[in-house]
């Protein structure tokens, strides 16, 4: 191909973040905010082999695969580390232009790095006329995250590649869940970016220091996730199930706080959402910044408005689709 475009969605974690890094199950949903990556045979005549550009992120760079060097022309390099690592794994080094259109906030806990990585792999596979194999792409994307971040579960990359609402089992099996949470979930995000690597390292440190305290917390999160799975594996959520889910979210929030990933802004948003009518609210993702989710049947507008007074918020539009080849 001379041009290939692929996109992948962001995600929101409903239950089990951090515990999943210790091999526990988790539940997450793809959110229809996408990273769209286009790979073109090289037209420009700049010396370096690969050029990268993203108008939405105000980012421009030249990537030298031989030297493993990123020459930043404009913007911040964070996401480029994922692109570079992906190129090492999936590109033959021939001259190409890569364009990225980001339709989601970066560093807001919506899995932007996973979405960029998954979309880049899919675009490169299509560009090189390789078969698009979703599970394979999810696996390679997880390896990229591991290399760049030092520690990562396969959760973000699996949700981004497969789409939908999924339960990731203890042995990393992907089980699609039936429920359609449309219209019930609000995501509030702080302007304060969380650093996933640091947050994961912090929880690990506390677990190594106090295993007798942290292991029961991590095991409780596992039990919450398993109970939530039963609630969510139905076509229609009745009021009773919805209320149990809300309560499970609130308990999970308490345990995330105990793990040490809460901060003032997130705490404020969690309680503002509950005060505005959410039946459950919790941090989603790594914490330390980033986002919260709130379960608010019949109250989404109230919760959105209340959160927007102090930070940003969106109604979560879930995506049944993961990777799309455009």
Nearer to ligand MEV, 111 or 188 (CB): 111
Nearer to ligand MEV, 13 or 231 (CB): 13
Contact call for residue 18 and ligand MEV (CB under 6 A): yes
Q: Which stretch binds ligand MEV (CB under 6 A): 11-19, 58-66, 271-279, 316-324?
A: 11-19
Contact call for residue 115 and ligand MEV (CB under 6 A): no
Beta strands in the chain (DSSP E): 3-15, 26-41, 50-54, 59-64, 69-74, 96-102, 165-168, 174-176, 185-189, 280-284, 291-295, 312-315, 324-325
Question: Is 180 assigned a catalytic role?
Answer: no
Neighbours of 235 (CB within 10 A): 7
CA 51 to chain centre: 25
Number of H helices, E strands in the chain: 9, 13
Nearer to ligand MEV, 197 or 277 (CB): 197
Nearer to ligand MEV, 7 or 153 (CB): 153
- Residue with the closest Cβ to ligand MEV? 153
Q: How far is the CB of 18 from ligand MEV (least distance, A)?
A: 5
Contact call for residue 153 and ligand MEV (CB under 6 A): yes
Catalytic hit among 156, 180, 208, 233: 156
Q: How far is the CB of 196 from ligand MEV (least distance, A)?
A: 5
For the chain, the farthest-separated pair of C-alpha atoms sits apart, in whole angstroms, at 63
Q: Which contiguous run of DSSP H or E holds residue 251?
A: helix 239-259
Place of tokens 């789409």: 163
Place of tokens 């506390």: 206
Q: Give the active site residues.
A: 156
Which residues are near ligand MEV by CB under 6 A?
13, 17-18, 20-21, 111, 152-153, 155-156, 196, 200, 285-286
């Amino acid at each position: 191909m001379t041009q290939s475009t692929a996109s992948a969605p962001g995600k929101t974690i409903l239950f089990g973040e951090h515990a999943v890094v210790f091999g526990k199950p988790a539940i997450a949903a793809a959110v229809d905010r996408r990273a769209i990556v286009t790979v073109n045979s090289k037209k420009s005549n700049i010396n370096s082999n690969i050029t990268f550009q993203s108008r939405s992120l105000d980012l421009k760079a030249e990537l030298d695969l031989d030297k493993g060097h990123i020459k930043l022309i404009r913007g911040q390099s964070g996401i480029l580390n994922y692109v570079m690592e992906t190129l090492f794994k999936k590109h033959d080094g021939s001259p190409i232009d890569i364009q990225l259109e980001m339709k989601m906030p970066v560093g807001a806990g919506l899995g932007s790095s996973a979405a960029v990585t998954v979309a880049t792999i899919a675009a490169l596979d299509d560009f090189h006329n390789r078969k698009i194999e979703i599970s394979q792409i999810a696996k390679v994307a997880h390896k990229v995250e591991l290399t760049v971040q030092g520690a990562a579960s396969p959760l973000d990359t699996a949700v981004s590649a497969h789409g939908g609402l999924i339960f990731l089992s203890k042995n990393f099996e992907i089980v699609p869940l039936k429920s359609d949470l449309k219209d019930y979930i609000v995501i509030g995000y702080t302007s304060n970016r969380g650093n996933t690597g640091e947050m994961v390292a912090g929880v690990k440190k506390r677990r190594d220091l106090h295993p007798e305290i942290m292991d029961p917390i991590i095991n409780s999160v596992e039990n919450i996730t398993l109970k939530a799975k039963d609630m969510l594996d139905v076509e229609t959520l009745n009021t009773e199930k919805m209320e149990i889910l809300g309560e499970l979210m609130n308990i999970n929030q308490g345990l995330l706080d105990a793990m040490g990933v809460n901060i003032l802004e997130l705490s404020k948003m969690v309680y503002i959402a509950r005060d505005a009518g959410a039946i459950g609210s919790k941090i989603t993702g790594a914490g330390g910044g980033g986002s919260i989710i709130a379960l608010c049947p019949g109250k989404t507008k109230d919760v959105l408005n209340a959160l927007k007074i102090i930070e940003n918020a969106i109604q979560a539009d879930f995506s049944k689709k993961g990777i799309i080849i455009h």
